[in-house]
Amino acid sequence: MAAALDLLPSLAGTLEAGASLADFIWFRTGGAAEWLARPRDEADLADFLAALPAGMPVLPIGVGSNLIVRDGGVSGVTIRLPKAMAAIEIEGDTIRAGAAALGITVANAARDAGLAGLEFLRGIPGTIGGAVRMNAGAYGRDMADLLVEARVVRRSGAVETLPAAALGFSYRHSALPAGDVVVSAVLRGTPGDRATISTEMERIAAEREASQPLRSRTGGSTFKNPPGHKAWELVDRAGCRGLHLGGAQVSEKHTNFLINTGSATAADIEALGEEVRARVLAQSGVLLEWEIERVGVPA
């Protein structure tokens, strides 16, 4: 049950009760946010979080490209940053990107500036804020390789600039506490040839198009690659290619992707993922770890 509006602090941006998250997350299913806050800027966000009751949960969401929102919705306040917090500035070999900027947009800006090393962001479908939080990566690189520092609004409302070493990066993970919101990041590239950078980005785009179900309602890579293994190969060997549960399906094109075929609930998708994990464990002895973040409560 949503808290009364008069119990929440004021926000210069917008604050919506019972807001649909399925309208924009990639799976296009799942429950609503108890409150969806869209702050106007960093100061607005900091003031709002500082005044928010300490026990109220806070969940930042970008474009929901690697997210299952359970059917019962998300309690507390969900934060979605505005396009105004997607600005990109380049100085020398560094790029300062707002957390709402998409990975592909940052990759394009780096290419245009003749900065190499960020090409893999062409294959990261989410925002820079989400990429920092989960140490997103692809094609042999991840955010830990290029992050200089991140600016973060703490759940308390305090604003801090953290060096990369303070984020506790590991494979697809950072040590940022729940409720902290990344608002910008400074990334470092290396001078390179624009044509060469462009060619590499085109290669990544073509490889993704050929191997991943990009035109389906999906959530990106479902499971982390276990040490010494590729998740998709384990799923395939366990006989899960094309496996259905309700309206959810394991992709025929890439077995580490789950798909909403049109009528899937979030429960269908999560249950299918758990069935895949069980079959892989039985077949190979490897317990797959979720890479997709699962939030909210069941219906």
* Residues noted as catalytic: 172, 221, 291
Name 102's bridge partners: 127
DSSP secondary structure string, the chain? -PPPGGGSPP-SSEEEEEEESTTTSTT--S-EEEEEEE-SSHHHHHHHHHHS-TTS-EEE-SS-TTEEE-TT-EEEEEE---GGG--EEEETTEEEEETTSBHHHHHHHHHHTTEES-GGGGG--SBHHHHHHHT-EETTEEGGGTEEEEEEE-TTS-EEEEEGGGG--BTTB--PPTT-EEEEEEEE-EE--HHHHHHHHHHHHHHHHHHS-TTSEE-S--BPPPTTS-HHHHHHHTT-TT-EETTEEE-SS-TT-EEE-SS--HHHHHHHHHHHHHHHHHHHS----B-SEEES---
